[in-house]
Amino acid sequence: MKGRWKKFLSYYTNYKVLFFKDMFCAMVSAAITLVYPMITRYITGTILNQPKIDYSKIYLLGLFMLCLIVVEYFCNYFIGYLGHVMGVYMERDLRNELFSHYQKLSFRFYDEQNTGQLMSRLTNDLFSLTELYHHGPEDIVISIIKFIGAFILLSYINVKLTLILFAILPFMFLFAWYYNKKMKTAFKRNKERIGDINERIEDNLSGIRVVKSFANEDQELERFDKQNGHYVSAKKNSYYYMGRYNAGLTSFTSLITVSVIFFGTLFISYGSINVADLIAFLLYVTNLIDPVKKLLNFTEQFQEGVTGFERFMEILEIEPDIQDTKNAVVLQHVEGNVMFDHVSFRYNEQTPYVLNNINLDVKPGEYIAFVGSSGVGKTTICSLIPRFYEATKGNVLIDGINVKEIKQQSLRENIGIVQQDVYLFTGTIMDNIRYGNLEASDEEVIEAAKKANAHDFIMELEEGYDTDCGQRGVKLSGGQKQRISIARVFLKNPPILIFDEATSALDNESESIVQESLEKLSQDRTTFVIAHRLSTIKNAKHICVLTENGIEEQGNHEELMKLNGNYARLYNMQFKGEK
């Protein structure tokens, strides 16, 4: 906990100057508000009571107050503008730090996390935190100065009246604290209800074709209306408390004002106070409401900010479970030899082993296929090569070097992966292919697209390589997307390749085009192929049949058929199916 506080405060270090300027301005502005009533009291009480009124003094004091107003203006301007700017700088630092940590965390982390949650940690949570960073110290300083200052000055004018005033304040504070809390809880519930509505809408619109095909519009409307009803009652609840809160604060302010006037006039009649004192008192009353609100604001900001910071630290404190070792090496020239040495693997300690004692020695340039029923661990075995996960037992070696000893970046630079699902980023086709090698020129990108059989279809698009292909971009077919992803890998030009069901989701026609570009890509590179349709790997020289017990059969198609084991069974099953 102590470490976390240290960390919390450490974000101020880069902005010390801004922070102290901000604090200074907050103090000055709070102090100035305390001065006006005193000057007013001096004018009404002292100057006006002289037998001969000294107007020059009044003008001078008027001018002085004008100057104070100007100073106050600049202080408030500084707090409002540069104070917030400091908050934003800090928010940027926090966000960059967390985002950079996200980039470091490994697959295992993302297996367990929900993207929406991770996003909100980077946005909403941080926002509440920066509000605290910026307003927290400022609000406290302003409130304390205003409270203590007013208390001292008022006691100096009249102790009894001060005590009456400060006797009411705690009740006001308690009242405001209670309803403020209720109100904020209610507002939080509103947000949740809005979240529910959003989720409903998204679910409905994403599945609108299903809704229509089942003619379930009425039922959907009914469900939606119910959710909307929940929203209305949540809102009603929050307005109830908001109404109470605002009305209560106004009434308390009036109560304090009226009490001051009532007791003040009584005291005037006893002669223990004069009109000028009463005016000063009344002016301070309005001054006291502001710090009450600020303090309430602070308690709430503090809670939210601390929660935000805890959620921030929770992730930041997670060590990536795959890290470069101190002496990790950078691969120089990779031949492409990949060896599995007694490799066993399980995803976590609670689940059984997915891979058992895998031994394989794949020579540079070899084309090797993994087959086996779904869920047997084909994807898993391939994800150990780029060290997305780490072998639980045994080692994976590239050109004789253990992958654990290689810098992750260098390791992954040498491996190209083509998967069933292709992710295209927001941006143009050109950008997306260039993702394979950010330094590539336009010509090199086009060359890669040509090799991947993608150039022709890209040129047929209205905007060619400038076509936007993100979420909101043009709709590309599965085969087209796949060819873009293959072009990426051509551009990357790695010595080791993994094709994980790259053609499984495609129709026969695009499959053969994609297959052709995959074969071109795999020339002279060590290639691991996982294919659902055995026809696509029939020509592989080396086929491994994976089962729960490890690699049960190995060889080429003819040899495996002769064995008449698992492979033959799978093959015959598909062959029959395809007929």
38 binds ligand ADP (CB under 6 A): no
Residue number with the smallest Cβ distance to Mg ion: 379
Is 551 among the residues that bind ligand ADP (CB under 6 A)? no
Distances from the Cα of 497 to the Cα of 409, 518, 528, angstroms: 16, 10, 6
Interface with ligand ADP, residue 42, by CB under 6 A? no
Q: Is the dihedral of CA 294, 295, 296, 297 positive or negative?
A: positive
Among 379, 428, 482, 515, binds ligand ADP (CB under 6 A): 379
**376: partner contacted, choices ligand ADP, Mg ion, none (Cβ within 5-8 A by kind):** ligand ADP
503 near Mg ion (CB under 5 A): no
State in angstroms the smallest separation of the CB of 481 from Mg ion: 18
CA distance 140 to 166: 19
* 111 touching ligand ADP, by CB under 6 A: yes
Q: Cβ distance 378 to 546 under 8 Å?
A: yes
For 396, the 3-state DSSP assignment is: strand
Check residue 347 for interaction with ligand ADP (CB under 6 A). yes
Q: Which does 458 bind (CB under 5 to 8 A by kind): Mg ion, ligand ADP, none?
A: none
Q: Do strands 367-371 and 526-530 pair parallel, antiparallel, or not at all (unpaired)?
A: parallel
168 binds, among Mg ion, ligand ADP, none (CB under 5 to 8 A by kind): none
- Number of residues located near Mg ion, criterion CB under 5 A: 1
Question: Between helices 124-157 and 159-206, what is the axis angle to 10°?
Answer: 170
Q: What are phi and psi of 98, to 5 degrees?
A: -70, -40
Max CA distance (Å), the chain:
126
| Type of residue found at 304 | E
Residue 229 in contact with ligand ADP, rule: CB under 6 A: no
Among 50, 103, 374, 471, binds ligand ADP (CB under 6 A): 374
375 is a contact residue toward ligand ADP (CB under 6 A):
yes
Minimum Å gap between C-beta 501 and ligand ADP is 8
Q: Which residue has the tokens 């106070």?
A: 273
CB-nearer residue toward ligand ADP: 178 or 347 = 347
Partner interacting with residue 294 (select from Mg ion, ligand ADP, none; CB below 5-8 Å by kind): none
Which residue, 135 or 378, is less far from ligand ADP as judged by CB? Answer: 378
Among the residue ranges 29-37, 194-202, 376-384, 433-441, the one whose residues contact ligand ADP (CB under 6 A) = 376-384
Q: Which of 130, 143, 379, 414 binds Mg ion (CB under 5 A)?
A: 379
Pick the stretch among 94-102, 371-379, 423-431, 450-458 that binds ligand ADP (CB under 6 A): 371-379
Q: Return the bridge partners of 358, or none.
A: 343
User: CA-to-CA distance for 549 and 347, rounded, in angstroms?
Assistant: 16
Distant-in-sequence, close-in-space partners of 131: CB < 8 Å, separation ≥ 6: 87, 301, 304, 305
Asked if residue 378 binds ligand ADP (CB under 6 A), the reply is yes
Q: If we measure between CA atoms, which residue out of 379, 404, 392, 396 comes closest to residue 352?
A: 392
Q: What angle do CA 484, 488, 494 make, to 5 degrees?
A: 145
Of 109-117, 173-181, 374-382, 562-570: span binding Mg ion (CB under 5 A): 374-382
Pair of tokens at residue 294: 């600020």
Q: Which of 175, 515, 497 is nearest to 367 (CA)?
A: 497
Listed ranges 113-121, 242-250, 373-381, 441-449: which one lies at the site for ligand ADP (CB under 6 A) = 373-381
Residue 568 host element (H or E): helix 566-578
Q: Which of residues 238 and 379 has its CB atom nearest to Mg ion in the complex?
A: 379
Indicate the residue among 380 and 535 with the shorter CB distance to ligand ADP: 380
15 DSSP assignment: G
Interface contacts to ligand ADP, rule CB under 6 A:
111, 347, 354, 372, 374-380
Interface contacts to Mg ion, rule CB under 5 A:
379
